[in-house]
Amino acid sequence: MLFRSGSIPHEEPRPSVIRMSTVGPMGRTVGDVALFHGVLVGDLGLPTPVGPPRAAYSPDLGGLPVDPEVRRVTEVAVNALVDAGWRVDEAEPDLSASDKPFDVLRGLSYWLAWSHLIDDERIKESCRYEIEAGRDLSEHEQIAAVTEENRHRSLWDDFFTGPESFDLLLAPVSQVPPFPVGWESVPEINGVPLPHYKDWMRSCCRITVPGGPAISVPAGFTADGLPVGLQLAGPRGADRRLLAYAVLAEEVFGVMPSPDLGMLATTDPTTLPPGPLG
């Protein structure tokens, strides 16, 4: 789960310009995540939603390429929420210009945190790329990125406080299903080339820039049995309320089965395909 930046009091101090990245819990169920988050912030109670939420749904977050199976599973999940009484309309804030500030601020954060690793060949190429990108940023580029980040935060706030009064935004988590472990990234989606290694997960990047909380809830499987998640994102400062809505979503979808850890424990690592580091 991605929480509002600054919501976890135990985060390490960092330059004030870096607000996108946050610390926070992951878990197999929403209940596990809520408990973990409650311990971190000192609040174990979740608000009780008053009736089904009013949700906006974006199938592609501003025209991003999305794998047909991801789109199908996501739409089935959203329809299941509607059948359960959720009020859902297709709508989205305009996040189409958020890719550039995300890339700039991500590179800057890498440079400020890990500049000493820039020539370490044990670090995978994409990480060293981000460090180098952060190193080469001009002052103008940094200022422009922060300005755009602030603009997108205002857009996000206006989206949830406007006349529609949406409680949350629904969207795909990743634009593609899980891909082979040996791949660094995905080269294309539906014939659309993806020149940058992050292009298959812009659906997450675009949600990150506005600074609101977001959570991925398992929502179904592709025809090949690969898991697909539904992303729930909420207003800034509404972390616990978003978790309460995620509980409602999980009641509709059910808890996904856990992996066979016994089988994984007995797997010979030499039989696995190589990863990005070989």
Q: How many CB atoms lie within 10 A of CB 153?
A: 17
Amino acid 266: pLDDT = 86
- Above 60 in pLDDT, residue 2? no
Domain boundaries defined on the chain: 30-255
Question: pLDDT band for position 115 (50/70/90)?
Answer: very high
Give 64-85 as a DSSP string: ----HHHHHHHHHHHHHHHHTT
pLDDT digits 0-9 by tens, 48-60: 877 889 999 999 9
At residue 207, the 3 state secondary structure works out as helix
Angle between helices 30-41 and 239-253 (to 10 degrees): 170
Question: Which strand ranges, in their side-by-side order, compose the sheet holding 214-221?
Answer: 87-90, 54-57, 168-172, 227-233, 214-221
pLDDT digits 0-9 by tens, 148-196: 999 999 999 999 998 888 999 999 999 999 998 888 899 999 999 999 9
Amino acid 14: pLDDT = 63
Question: pLDDT band for position 259 (50/70/90)?
Answer: confident
Helix (H) or strand (E) segment spanning residue 167: none
Mean pLDDT of the chain: 90
Higher pLDDT, 86 or 20: 86
- Above 60 in pLDDT, residue 98? yes
**Helical ranges in 44-170 per DSSP H:** 68-83, 99-114, 125-135, 139-161
For the domain made up of 30-255, give the CATH fold: Amidase signature (AS) enzymes (3.90.1300)
Higher pLDDT, 256 or 200: 200
Token pair in block for residue 262: 């016994």
**pTM of this structure:** 0.89
pLDDT digits 0-9 by tens, 12-58: 666 666 777 677 789 989 999 999 999 888 888 888 877 889 999 99
Residues comprising the chain, all counted: 278
